[in-house]
Structure 1
Amino acid sequence: MAISSIESVLQQMRAINQATQAGERGGALSGSGAVGGGFAGELKKSLDRISDSQQQAYGQAEAFELGKPGVALNDVMVDMQKANIGFQMSLQVRNRVVAAYQEIMNMPA
């Protein structure tokens, strides 16, 4: 049961990745392009996107605090919430992976 949940999250991550790549047609490959396929590769890419989202949100919040023109409070708040949701999702995926690992380790040999 836990494995199917992980597979579902993995499929969602792949769909997001494909949508992101479709939006970046013709762009240069990022440093994470060299990561191998499979669950580990998808997880690394997802964590990199979450980290980038957090860095962008924090940068935008700092720009707003400094009073830079063109930075609206509502944009800052939306970006901060997006980063928070991404982080919470990654935390839940981690919890599910750990629970699945523990369940597998407790299986009789």
Structure 2
Amino acid sequence: MTDAISSILSQIRAHESRTREGVSNAIDVGGFGNVGNVGRSNETTPSNGAGFGQLLSKAIDNVSETQANASSLQTAFELGDPRADLARTMVAMQQSQIAFRATVEVRNRLVQAYQDVMNMPV
């Protein structure tokens, strides 16, 4: 279990370093918009004065957008749209699943950190 968590964290760190270098991780999926927009711009970096709440809100919005894009691509594939082939649909679904898992892991770690702080002796 800890190997999986370490793997996800290393992927998040690699993605963050690519984002800082200005590389976008967005994939245009046959006219269905970008999938995987987590690193689409530098507006989520803390250097512009955005608070932690805003940063977290933007990250959750990006995960939600990724899930919506994957869902629309899946629906288009099921309806037989020729632009939505199986490979693109599967990639979009996997990106959505990984983004959701990473978000849940961040939430779990934040809850654990909060509990640790609350249990500290004063």
Question: More relative contact order in 1 or in 2 (CA 8 Å, sep 6+)?
Answer: 1
TM-score normalised by length of structure 2:
0.64
- Displacement after TM superposition at 1:38 (Å): 2.0
Q: Does 1:68 align with 2:88?
A: no
* Structure 1 unmatched ranges of 5 or more: 1-7, 23-28, 30-35
User: What's the CA shift string for 1:55-95, capped at 9, x where partnerless?
Assistant: 00000000000001211100000000000000000000000
Partner of 1:79: 92
- Displacement after TM superposition at 1:54 (Å): 0.2
- Displacement after TM superposition at 1:42 (Å): 0.9
- Displacement after TM superposition at 1:17 (Å): 5.8
The residue identity in structure 1 corresponding to 2:59 is S
Pairing 1:1-109 to 2, within 5 Å after superposition: 12=13, 15=17, 19=22, 20-21=40-41, 37-109=50-122
Deviates more, 1:55-64 or 1:12-21: 12-21
- Bigger proportion of residues as helix: 1
Report the number of matched residues. Answer: 89
**Counterparts of 2:60 and 2:70 in 1: how far apart (Å)?**
15
The residue identity in structure 1 corresponding to 2:61 is D
TM-score normalised by length of structure 1:
0.71
Provide the alpha-carbon RMSD of the alignment.
Answer: 2.5
* Structure 2 unmatched ranges of 5 or more: 1-8, 23-39, 44-48
Cα pair distance change 1:50/1:17, threshold 3 Å: farther
Sequence identity, in percent? 38
